[in-house]
Amino acid sequence: MTAQDYNFAYLDEQTKRMIRRAILKGVAVPGYQVPFASREMPMPYGWGTGGVQVTAACLTPDDTLKVIDQGADDTTNAVSIRKFFQRTAAVAVTEATAEATIIQTRHRIPEAALTEGQILVYQVPIPEPLRFLEPRETETRKMHELEEYGLMHVKLYEDIARHGHIATAYAYPVKVEGRYVMDPSPIPRFDNPKLSDCPAIQLFGAGREQRIYALPPYTRVVSLDFEDHPFEASKAPHDCDLCGASDSYLDEVITDDEGGRMFVCSDTDFCRGRVAAGHIGRLGAPDLAQEAAE
């Protein structure tokens, strides 16, 4: 495949227009899932076809693209999607959150605060927050229409009754501007507070399920909770072993077969930035950590 064989960013202009219309509708009705005629992409469903279509529809030749998966720029699928756009759109790419104009992400929101003018594109597997309570699309659409979210509150209540906590660790449901209950994609609930009042545009693409939804800048997004059981953003009770950050989401890495563990920032750009600025974690500089691995 060469760039000339396909239109800029792979999709033809008619398709992009169709997707942009869905995006605009989504921005106009925050949190509402807009059906769109998702195309078959040259990567499998489940690999981010929704996000890729949204990114393709938003990209211009002047954009700088960042792609992350699990917070990291160098996970295999992030590499693959970044390469896809380099090949089909020849856009500039970056790993630095602050330099990117469009960031496509899977499962994380970058640690660094986003700014006006940036677009954050989420890959979404199941856009319907009510899906695991009611498998039928025909029913869940009706529930959204009628703002009938009792079932979700019952589920959260039952969690508390049974476990003492809300047993949802990722894809924690939110309410958008007091209207639609929305699935924030499988980000850890640690990231939920970053959804609200964000200066960047947040777009969500679900390819297989043919849905797009959006949060325009500075939208109020509230994680569902109860007065006596307020929402709590949680993470591993550790600091990053490479950069010492205490406020970033951590990956747990198994280092040996005797229970050895290390905790490192899942956001690789954030961690690298801190190390470069002289912050040092428990296991010292990243070089040391890598040596220990080999």
Segment interacting with another protein (CB under 8 A) among 55-63, 93-101, 142-150, 186-194: 186-194
Burial class, 45, CB count within 10 angstroms (exposed 0-12 / middle 13-18 / buried 19+): middle
CA dist 195 and 25 (Å) reads 19
From the CB of 194, what's the least distance to another protein, in Å?
A: 14
Segment interacting with another protein (CB under 8 A) among 55-63, 165-173, 175-183, 216-224: 165-173
Quick check: is 265 catalytic?
yes
CA dist 137 and 142 (Å) reads 8
Q: Of 58, 71, 205, 271, which is the active-site residue?
A: 271
Site string for another protein, 240-279 (x = CB under 8 A): ---------xxxxxxx------x-x-x-------------
CA dist 36 and 16 (Å) reads 11
Asked if 83 touches another protein (CB under 8 A), the answer is: yes
Q: Of 48, 51, 71, 240, which is the active-site residue?
A: 240
Inter-CA distances, 187 with 68, 79, 125, 173, 191, Å: 12, 19, 11, 10, 6
- Three-state SS string over 95-150 comes to CCHHHCCEEEEECCCCCCCCCCCCEEEEECCCCCCCCCCCCCHHHHHHHHHCCCCH
Q: Of 31, 50, 51, 273, which is the active-site residue?
A: 31
> Residue for token digits 């211009």?
60
Write out the residues near another protein by the rule CB under 8 A.
6, 12, 35-42, 44-47, 49, 69-72, 74-80, 83, 107-108, 125, 136-138, 163-165, 167, 169-171, 186-190, 208, 210-211, 234-236, 249-255, 262, 264, 266, 289-290, 292-294
Catalytic residues: 31, 240, 243, 265, 271
